[in-house]
Amino acid sequence: MRWFRRLVGSRQPRSYGVRQALVQSVILLAALGAFLASVPVAVAADQPVKIVVLGDSLTAGFNLPASAAFPVRLERALRAKGYAVDVANAGVSGDTASGGLARLDWSVPEGTAAVIVELGANDMLRGLDPKVTQRALEEIVRRLSERRIAVLLAGMRAIPNLGVDFVNGFETIYPEIASKYDALLYPFFLDGVAGDAKLNQRDGLHPTAAGVDAIVGGILPKVEELLTRVRK
Task: List the domain range (segments joined by +) for residue 146.
Answer: 49-228
In the chain, how many domains are there? Answer: 2
Residues in the chain with pLDDT < 70? Answer: 1-46, 232
Phi/psi of residue 90, nearest 5 degrees: -115, 45
- As a whole number of angstroms, the distance between CA 99 and CA 144 comes to 16
Looking at the structure, do residues 75 and 182 belong to the same domain, yes or no? yes
Residues belonging to the chain: 232
Q: What is the pTM of this model?
A: 0.82
Phi/psi of residue 186, nearest 5 degrees: -110, 105
Task: Indicate which residues carry an active-site annotation.
Answer: 57, 203, 206
Looking at the structure, do residues 190 and 106 belong to the same domain, yes or no? yes
Query: What is the per-residue pLDDT for 17?
Result: 55
What are 183-194's pLDDT values in tens digits? 999 999 999 999
CATH number of domain containing 79? 3.40.50.1110
Query: What is the per-residue pLDDT for 208?
Result: 98
Looking at the structure, do residues 146 and 190 belong to the same domain, yes or no? yes
Query: What is the per-residue pLDDT for 47?
Result: 86
